[in-house]
Amino acid sequence: MNKFDVLIVEDELRIAELHSQFIHQHPRFKPVGIASTQAEARRMIRVLKPDLILLDNFLPDGLGIEVMRDLLAEKQAPDVIFITAASDIETVREAVRCGAFDYLLKPIGYDRLQDTLQRYLRYRSSINASDNVSQRHVDEMFNLQARELTYRNLPKGIDELTLEKVKEAFMSGDTFHTAESLGELIGISKTTARRYLEHCAALTYLHAEVVHGKVGRPERIYRKAG
């Protein structure tokens, strides 16, 4: 069974190595190199011709999104999973315009990346299935590039990018948060944090419980559901 070659573009070596180790564990993907700058990324793309790139946006000599813009002009350009701390909507729009397969916010959640890789495999299998496609076939391919179903039809006051940050805050199994601690961690107000926590609890992604603090005041804490 063929493996897909993956180039990792990340200027923080420790994070790049973690990405590489994670990719290496997957039987269908093979890390073929690590680039820490725009210049290295361009050279390694030319030489290695990877199938897929994990592309960080903030690099020492420029933005990863600029590499994506250049790839648009190439006929056999690799696919891109865009990884960045940038949560502004314009960066998201630009990544979509440039054809990113997915957009992951830092700090990256590896269960989220695992989901992306699995969808990518189904996507590649689908586009390689035949030369002529039906409307149903096209719909399936586009659906594979879509986010998880839980992100569709989000209620008012809940946006996808902030929800992703909230979920990433609970990636470690023993992590728990109050509305106050979560708000401080991801930079939102206590009220907003509580709204997202209650949304996740309603979806059974989180479990909420009431504990008594040091001065006896009851406090609502949230953990990832078992």
Domains and CATH numbers, the chain: 4-146 (3.40.50.2300), 160-224 (1.10.10.10)
- The whole-angstrom separation of Cα 103 and Cα 105 is 7
**Residue 134 phi, psi dihedral angles, 5° rounding:** -95, 170
pTM of the model: 0.61
The SS3 of residue 178 is: coil
- The tokens for 155 are 């209620």
The SS3 of residue 158 is: coil
Q: Per-residue pLDDT tens for 53-87? A: 999 999 999 999 999 999 987 777 899 999 988 77
Q: Per-residue pLDDT tens for 184-203? A: 999 999 999 999 999 888 87
Give 36's pLDDT tier (boundaries 50, 70, 90): very high
**C-beta of residue 105 within 8 angstroms of C-beta of residue 87:** yes
